[in-house]
Homo-oligomer: A and B are copies of this chain.
């Protein structure tokens, strides 16, 4: 992007490709951090780098560690909305308020664990370093996903049976 305009295609020269990678990786990280700071959002970039043993992840300040947590809480919200009708709405607001604190604490924990999970998935951390509590929580997260998928399989198999 300077001195010469560069064509947007794979850089075949090994050394200049590496140099460009290093520069742009740095630039990209900076952009991610700026976005999180300026706009108050959580963001990260993940790069499967050929120049490092592992894929690299930058969770920036707060990172993407709550992506999974969000997904899970969204599933719950959706279920909730379906069951919710106008009559029960007002009564539930009280319950909701009471549940807020508990949820906040739970969310924080889930974020922590999601961070750990991401680190494991990205190979920057192994399970060996985890204590029992963290491992248990990670298990819960992994197990949730697993069960969710199992249900879906069951549902699909039923449908397949019906269509025959």
Contact = CB atoms under 8 A, between A and B. Distances in A.
Interface of A: 6, 8-11, 17, 20-21, 24-25, 27-28, 31-32, 34-35, 37-50, 54-55, 57, 64, 66-68, 70-71, 74, 120-123, 127-128, 130-132, 135-136, 138-139, 142-143, 145-146, 148-150, 152-153, 156-157, 160
A38 B130 CA distance: 37
A34 B105 CA distance: 40
> Which DSSP category, helix, strand, loop or mixed, fits chain A's interface?
helix
Nearest to A35: B24
Chain copies in the assembly? 2
A72 B142 CA distance: 15
B67 A39 contact: no
B41 A21 contact: yes
Contact of A143 (B67, B127, B146): B146
Nearest to A37: B8
Contacts of A42: 47-48
A35 B9 CA distance: 10
Nearest to A151: B127
